């Protein structure tokens, strides 16, 4: 039976492992962290959001981005220092404007398809991940952005999504804790939220029960390509041991690092690490719990998303083009705290845990799923700002591609 090595134990790697184990393959997942889901799949916005499927490749988004440049607390930050990776990625991003319509519709379809797989996995394996199926309310603060949103909404509807406009009063009745006024909103009843880290960790345990092996604290430094099988050069436990592991097929799910693996394996895969931040506000008292929304929100002007994860309120946003930088900067965290205080003044913000992560983003914002050039090489990566939403569907696509490429288990 072919031995399959998956590189990365984030949401894409673990859902891939699960789908492949269901087909009967012998799977080992490698990750440089001690536990699964410790990098971008750790504390994201929590939204399972077909309603956020609009790709960013549009002139309107670029104009908005340019207006934000230079404002230190803007939702978008670009470090102008030259890097070939960053500027070639941005050039390709602009080149993808022509595919805006097609890619938005395709992402919507993928996001809708993902839901049933995700819920089925959670139910079959008994995974508790603070799921809230109360929909997502997208709020707009001015007439112009609301009208622009109508055009995007038509594409989401074309992709099969039920999403409708609501008045400020209707928005307030959907989420009564919302304290500030808005111009209007769009509501998607079928969207949901949940804790990506709890889900991925729970699914990893389910994979182990099914016979999947996890090699954690295992940094893959090199893949030897001198004929079958592939040999992985693995550095264990912070460099204390070096091991060689054989695999007949490789699945790259390494998030923002996937580009480096693709280059080694002879493929071109342009992924840029687009940094984002979140805060988890701990709702320690009854008043804060009552003041925090349960319906997930997306504030268009601030580009902030929220989700209620049990007794935590997750607020996430910002897109930073600054390479592989993982510093948690106070001036990027503060707008998230300020936003919470402004819209939900009844929530105590005395215990706030900040986090940052790198969205693995392709210029088209579409994930790369399927075979590479070499036999036995596959990808399921590049999910950008929607990895939590899309992975359950792309894992199925990946598993079908592996079966076609290496044969039945």
Ligand X SMILES: Cc1cc2nc3c(=O)[nH]c(=O)nc-3n(C[C@H](O)[C@H](O)[C@H](O)COP(=O)(O)OP(=O)(O)OC[C@H]3O[C@@H](n4cnc5c(N)ncnc54)[C@H](O)[C@@H]3O)c2cc1C
Chain residues in the site for ligand X (CB under 6 A): 7-13, 30-33, 38-41, 44-47, 49, 219-220, 253-255, 257, 276-278, 305, 316, 357, 359-360, 381, 383-389
Residue nearer to ligand X on the CB measure, 202 or 387 = 387
Contact 189, 162 (CB under 8 A): yes
**Number of helical H runs and strand E runs in the chain:** 11, 20
Beta bridge partners of 245: 232
Residue nearer to ligand X on the CB measure, 318 or 349 = 318
C-alpha count within 13 angstroms, C-beta hemisphere, residue 68: 21
Work out how close the CB of 285 gets to ligand X at its nearest, in angstroms, rounded to a whole number. 26
Non-local (6+) Cβ contacts of 133 within 8 A are 192
Work out how close the CB of 114 gets to ligand X at its nearest, in angstroms, rounded to a whole number. 9
Residue nearer to ligand X on the CB measure, 12 or 322 = 12
Work out how close the CB of 37 gets to ligand X at its nearest, in angstroms, rounded to a whole number. 6
Work out how close the CB of 30 gets to ligand X at its nearest, in angstroms, rounded to a whole number. 5
Helix, strand, coil fractions of the chain, as percent rounded to 5: 40, 25, 35
Residue nearer to ligand X on the CB measure, 127 or 172 = 127
Angle at 370 between CA 368 and CA 376, to 5 degrees: 130
Residue nearer to ligand X on the CB measure, 10 or 371 = 10
Non-local (6+) Cβ contacts of 89 within 8 A are 270, 272, 363
Residue nearer to ligand X on the CB measure, 238 or 345 = 238
Non-local (6+) Cβ contacts of 119 within 8 A are none
CA distance 303 to 75: 6
Closest by CA position to 19, among listed 380, 399, 344: 399
Work out how close the CB of 287 gets to ligand X at its nearest, in angstroms, rounded to a whole number. 26
Work out how close the CB of 318 gets to ligand X at its nearest, in angstroms, rounded to a whole number. 7
Residue nearer to ligand X on the CB measure, 225 or 287 = 225
DSSP summary character for residue 52: G
Work out how close the CB of 286 gets to ligand X at its nearest, in angstroms, rounded to a whole number. 27
């Amino acid at each position: 039976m072919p031995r399959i090595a998956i590189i990365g134990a984030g949401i894409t790697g673990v859902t891939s492992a699960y789908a492949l184990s269901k087909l009967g393959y012998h799977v080992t997942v490698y990750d440089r962290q001690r536990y699964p889901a410790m990098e971008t799949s750790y504390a994201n916005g929590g939204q399972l959001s077909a309603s956020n499927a609009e790709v960013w490749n549009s002139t309107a988004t670029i104009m908005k981005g340019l207006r934000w440049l230079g404002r230190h607390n803007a939702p978008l930050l670009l470090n102008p220092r030259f890097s070939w990776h960053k500027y070639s990625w941005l050039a390709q991003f602009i080149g993808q404007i022509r595919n805006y319509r097609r890619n938005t519709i395709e992402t919507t379809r993928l996001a809708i398809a993902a839901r049933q797989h995700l819920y089925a996995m959670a139910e079959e394996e008994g995974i508790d991940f603070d799921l809230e199926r109360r929909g997502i309310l997208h709020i707009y603060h001015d007439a112009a952005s609301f009208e622009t949103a109508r055009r995007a909404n038509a594409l989401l509807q074309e992709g099969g999504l039920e999403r409708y406009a609501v008045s400020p009063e209707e928005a307030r009745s959907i989420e009564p804790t919302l304290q500030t006024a808005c111009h209007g909103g769009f509501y998607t009843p079928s969207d949901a939220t949940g804790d990506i880290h709890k889900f991925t960790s729970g699914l990893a345990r389910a994979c182990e029960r099914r016979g999947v092996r996890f090699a954690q604290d295992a940094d893959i430094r090199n893949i030897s390509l001198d004929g079958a099988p592939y040999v992985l050069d693995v550095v264990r436990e912070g460099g204390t041991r070096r091991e060689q592991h054989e695999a007949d097929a490789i699945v790259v799910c390494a998030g923002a690092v996937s580009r480096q693996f693709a280059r080694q394996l002879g493929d071109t895969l342009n992924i840029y690490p687009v940094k984002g931040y979140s805060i988890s506000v701990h709702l320690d008292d009854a008043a804060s719990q009552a003041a925090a929304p349960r319906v997930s929100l997306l504030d268009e002007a601030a580009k902030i998303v929220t989700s209620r994860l049990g007794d935590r309120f997750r607020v996430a946003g910002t897109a930073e083009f600054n390479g592989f930088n993982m510093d948690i900067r106070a001036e990027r965290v503060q707008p998230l705290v300020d936003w919470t205080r402004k819209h939900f003044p009844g929530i105590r913000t005395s215990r706030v845990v900040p986090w940052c992560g790198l969205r693995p983003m392709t210029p088209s914002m579409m994930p790369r799923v399927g075979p590479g050039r070499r036999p036995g090489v596959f990808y399921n990566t590049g999910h950008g700002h929607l990895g939590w939403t899309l992975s359950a569907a792309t894992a199925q696509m990946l598993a079908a591609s592996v079966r076609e490429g290496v044969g039945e288990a």
